[in-house]
Amino acid sequence: MLEELWFEYFCKPAIEHGGYNLVNTLVYGAILLAIAFFVVFPLLDKKEIKFDFKFAVALLPYILLGSSFRVLEDLRLLERSCNPLEAGFYTYTPGIYIAIFALVIAAIAVSRIASKKFEKNFYKVFGGIGLLLALPIIGFEILQFQAWLGFLGIIAMTAGISWIVVKATERFRKGFFSSKLNMLALGGQVLDGSATFVATQFFRCGEQHVLSDIVLQLFPFGFVLVKIGLILAILHYVDREIQNENLRNFIKLFLIILGFATGLRDLMTLGVGTCL
């Protein structure tokens, strides 16, 4: 019985590129939240890692690494597998999140040792490792680009919408974006929304997530608006109700990862021409 459920709701959609369903969406979401807040945060907080803006910037190359690596699978250069003991399991969600998380933990450990031994800035070492790993993959994918107009259009759309939202929000609540993490969280979600909107409405990409697809079917640009509304509401609640600064920043970092991970993947996927 359990094997049948596993195959029907988790394995089959993965190996057949069938996207997500309500069951695996809820399960993956619950697992991601549990690992993030009951494993990752306590572990790194205990090690006195500060989830500030500098850490977020240094983490961005790893998010880009995961997103660009995921695009290699979109190009069918990597195979999929629903067996955690096989490499193909770690080329798509949820396996790729596990792989990048393990890499980040290892890079943090190496960076802490190297920064102390050679008296270097931890954030520069940590971010530098991520860049060295990500740049070869990004460079390869840029050489494959076929949809520069869509790629640049998404970037312009993200910048324009983010600027409008920041200006409008500051009129009603001054200082809301004094936290640079708030700015990054908004940018990540707007990028995700913009990339999805452009890819599904002007190119031939489809939406794999159940709830997102419902919104897109009803009102395509509403997907962007919903993401903006949700991120502003969550950030407002977090700033007002979460007293522990490191936990507050970790929640924002979690939102930044979710936005940029999917947004950058969609951006690069469109760029390499898999939506043409």
Residue 144's pLDDT is 92
pLDDT tens sequence for the chain (276 residues): 677 787 787 888 877 777 788 888 888 889 899 999 999 999 999 989 999 999 999 999 999 999 999 999 888 888 888 888 888 889 888 889 999 999 999 999 999 999 998 889 999 999 999 999 999 999 999 999 999 999 999 999 999 999 999 999 999 888 899 999 999 999 999 999 999 999 999 988 877 776 777 777 878 888 899 999 999 999 999 999 999 999 999 999 999 999 999 999 999 999 998 876
Position 76 scores a pLDDT of 85
Q: Delimit the domains of the chain by residue range.
A: 2-271
In whole angstroms, what is the distance from residue 149 CA to residue 179 CA? 32
In this structure, the number of other CB atoms found within 10 A of the CB of residue 218 comes to 9
Decide: 130 and 63 in contact? Cβ < 8 Å. Answer: no
What distance in Å separates the CA atoms of residue 275 and residue 144, rounded to the nearest whole number? 13
How do residues 66-120 score in pLDDT, each as one tens digit? 999 999 988 888 888 888 888 888 988 888 999 999 999 999 999 999 999 888 9
Angle between helices 53-74 and 180-201 (to 10 degrees): 20
Look at the chain and count its residues. 276
- Residue 210 is predicted with a pLDDT of 66
User: Do residues 58 and 123 touch, judged by C-beta distance below 8 A?
Assistant: yes
CB 267 within 8 A of CB 158: no
Q: Residue 112 in 3-state DSSP? A: helix
Cβ burial 230-262 (10 Å sphere, 16+ → b, else e): ebbeebeebbeeeeeebebbbbbbbbbbbbbbb
pLDDT at 276: 63
Global pTM value:
0.92
